[in-house]
Each structure stands twice: as C-alpha cells, then as structure tokens.
C-alpha cells in the first residue's frame, strides 16, 4: 500500500468527523436562516445613487409629520386605541423584521404606521419607513388582514427598493446634462430637489417596472410575515372591480390594476408559498 494511501486512510476518521460536523452546521443553518429572495426582481436602479438617501428620508419625515399634524388638527388622525390602527400596527410588526434583507438601511429606519380618517382609497410608505393608510381603503374594499399585508408589503417595497430616489434622479436629472458634473461630484442640485420634493412623495407615480418590483417584493415580505400570498390575487381583483368609472380608487391612479398584473402575481405565488407555510408553522 502506498504511503499516500496510508496517510489518507489514517487521516480519514478526523476528516470524516470534520465533514460531518460541517454538514451538520450547514443543515442547521439551512433550517434557521430563511432563504433569500424567492422572487426575481434583479438589482435596484443605480440611478438612485444620484440622490442622497439621507436627504430624501429627512424630507419624507418632515412631510409625513406635516401630514399627521394636519390630520390631527382635523380630528382625522386615529388614536392609539383605534382597532383599525392596532390592526395595521400588528401587521406591520410582522413585516418590518423581514425588510433588512432588501435594504440594509431599513435596520435604522424609525418605522411608523398611522391611520387617517378619509374616504380616499389610498395607502403609502415614504422613504425611511413612514407608512400611512386611509380608512377608505380598509372600509370600501373590505380588506382581510392578508390583503392589507399585501398592500403594506407593496408600499414598503417601494421604499426598500428606493424607487423614489431613482424616479427623482430620472425626472430631474435627464434634462440637466450641463450640471451633470456637479450632480455627480457634489450632488447639490439633486440633493436640493430631494429636500424640496414635498407632497410629491405621497403621489409619486412609479414606472411599470417599479410597480412589478414592488408587487413581487411585497408578496415575499407578506409571505415571510405569515400572510397568505394568494391574497395578492384577490386584492388586485378587488381593485379592478372598484376601478370602474371616474370615481375609482385614488390608489389606482398611481397603481393601475389589470389582468397582466394579476397573472404575474399568480405566477409568483408558488415561489413564496413555502415561506408562508414556514412562517405559519413557526407561529
């Protein structure tokens, strides 16, 4: 028997123990670490880097505070004991822990969830994690908790994927090639735009790709939080039914519904079904 074979065989028990230990660690990690990104949305737009995230988040916080102040002065801001607000905050508490894998900045966001009394069928999440729902979207569409989670996940996804940053860069930067150098090196121009964007953050229109992005990331966030992914389909079916006529939901003015949207969600539900089942089984 050759020396190399003798050496290998003599060392094998130790190696075997090491490999078994490594395999055991890997198996444990597989059980305790949730799979990352079951939906395929690709990388976030690099254009967003032209707009300082901290400036935009500060602007969003200021605008959110103004919105809440106005609602409070009109007696429209839900108080902590409001059952609908408690419902929203319970859902958010299950989704927020799932957000950091999509954006590391989310770990330091001061998340807020508030409810505003209004017939508007609307909801949003500003950059930095500032969430608001209007009572109209809950009451008029008679949403289940699973459907609320899909809307909340969708809106959170817009913030996590930083669609507002990218949209501002596209709309403000495209026609200003003469100042592109200053934007790239100093960010003064686009930074100023971010700081003065104001109410546009609430009604910002995103591209079709952004909407698809938010649909799929929101679907996964909700599934990881223990909410039935099939609700994404029933939600947009409700949206479509409510969208007829000139008095359709304000939500649909920035989030148009349609068969293609529903079909894409249906195709992605199986991808996150396991995440939903795991979340449910873990309580």
Q: Mean per-residue pLDDT for 241-249?
A: 60
Confidence of residue 248 (pLDDT cuts 50, 70, 90): low
Q: How many CB atoms lie within 10 A of CB 144?
A: 15
- Sorting pLDDT into bands at 50, 70 and 90, what band is 52? confident
Q: Is the pLDDT of residue 180 over 50?
A: no
| Residue 219 scores a pLDDT above 80 | yes
Tell me the pLDDT band of 8, cut-offs 50, 70 and 90: very low
Give the per-residue pLDDT at 190: 45
Query: Which of 18-27, 56-65, 130-139, 160-169 is predicted most confidently?
Result: 130-139
Please state the rounded mean pLDDT for residues 166-178: 59
Select which of 57, 112, 147, 155 is catalytic: 155
The answer to whether 51 touches 168, Cβ cutoff 8 Å, is yes
Cβ atoms 254, 206 nearer than 8 A: yes
Q: Encode pLDDT of 126-160 as tens digits.
A: 999 999 999 999 999 999 999 999 999 999 999 99
Q: How far apart are CA 148 and CA 166, in angstroms?
A: 26
> 202 versus 262: which is more confidently predicted?
262
Plot region of 187 (φ>0 → left; ψ -120 to 50 → alpha; else → beta):
left
- Residue 245, pLDDT above cutoff 90: no
Q: Where are the domains of the chain?
A: 45-281
Model pTM score: 0.78
Cβ atoms within 10 Å of 87's Cβ, excluding its own: 16
- Are the beta carbons of 249 and 121 closer than 8 angstroms? yes
Q: pLDDT tens digits, residue range 9-26?
A: 444 444 444 334 444 443
Residues above pLDDT 70, as percent of the chain? 69
* Cβ 180 vs Cβ 209: under 8 Å: no
- Highest average pLDDT, of 22-26, 188-192, 204-208, 236-240, comes from 236-240
3-class DSSP string for the chain: CCHHHHHHHHHHHHHHHHHHHHHHHHHHHHHHCCCCCCCCCCCCCHHHHHCCHHHHHHHHHHHHHHHHHHHHHCCCECCCCCHHHHHHHHHHHHHHHHCCCCCHHHHHCCCEEEEECCCCCCEEEECCCEEEEEHHHHHHHCCCHHHHHHHHHHHHHHHHCCHHHHHHHHHHHCCCHHHHHHHHHCCHHHHHHHHCCCCHHHHCCCCHHHHHHHHHHHHHHHHHCCCCCCHHHHHHHHHHHHCCCCCCCCHHHHCCCCHHHHHHHHHHHHHHHHHHHHHHHCC
Q: Give the pLDDT score at 200.
A: 64
Mean per-residue pLDDT, 96-110: 94
Neighbours of 254 (CB within 10 A): 15
Give yes or no: 147 in active site. Answer: no
pLDDT of residue 20: 40
Average pLDDT over residues 50-77: 90
Q: At what angle do helices 259-281 and 231-242 cross, to 10 degrees?
A: 140
- CA angle, 197 as apex, 196 and 199 as ends, to 5°? 120
More confident site: 231 or 28:
231
pLDDT for position 75: 97
Q: Please report which confidence band the pLDDT of residue 206 belongs to, taking 50, 70 and 90 as the band edges.
A: confident
């Amino acid at each position: 028997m050759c020396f190399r074979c003798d050496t290998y065989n003599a060392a094998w028990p130790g190696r075997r123990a090491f490999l078994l230990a490594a395999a055991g660690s890997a198996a444990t990690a597989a059980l305790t670490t949730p799979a990352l990104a079951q939906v395929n949305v690709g990388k976030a737009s690099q254009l967003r880097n032209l707009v300082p995230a901290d400036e935009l988040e500060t602007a969003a916080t200021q605008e959110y505070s103004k919105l809440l102040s106005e609602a409070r002065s009109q007696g429209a801001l839900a108080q902590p004991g409001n059952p609908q607000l408690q419902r929203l905050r319970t859902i958010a508490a299950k989704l927020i822990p799932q957000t950091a894998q999509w954006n590391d900045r989310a770990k330091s966001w001061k998340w807020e969830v508030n409810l505003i009394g209004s017939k508007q069928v609307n909801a949003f999440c500003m950059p930095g994690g500032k969430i608001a729902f209007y009572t109209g979207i809950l009451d008029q569409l008679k949403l289940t908790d699973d459907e609320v989670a899909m809307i909340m996940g969708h809106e959170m996804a817009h913030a996590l994927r930083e669609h507002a940053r990218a949209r501002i860069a596209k709309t403000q930067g495209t026609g200003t090639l003469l100042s592109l150098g200053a934007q790239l090196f100093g960010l003064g121009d686009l930074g100023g735009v971010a700081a003065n964007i104001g109410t546009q953050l609430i009604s910002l229109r995103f591209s079709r790709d952004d909407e698809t992005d938010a649909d799929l990331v929101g679907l996964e966030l909700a599934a990881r939080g223990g909410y039935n992914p099939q609700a994404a389909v029933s939600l947009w079916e409700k949206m479509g039914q409510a969208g007829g006529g000139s008095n359709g939901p304000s939500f649909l003015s920035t989030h148009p519904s349609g068969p293609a949207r529903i079909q894409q969600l249906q195709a992605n539900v199986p991808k996150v079904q396991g995440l939903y089942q795991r979340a449910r089984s873990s309580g």
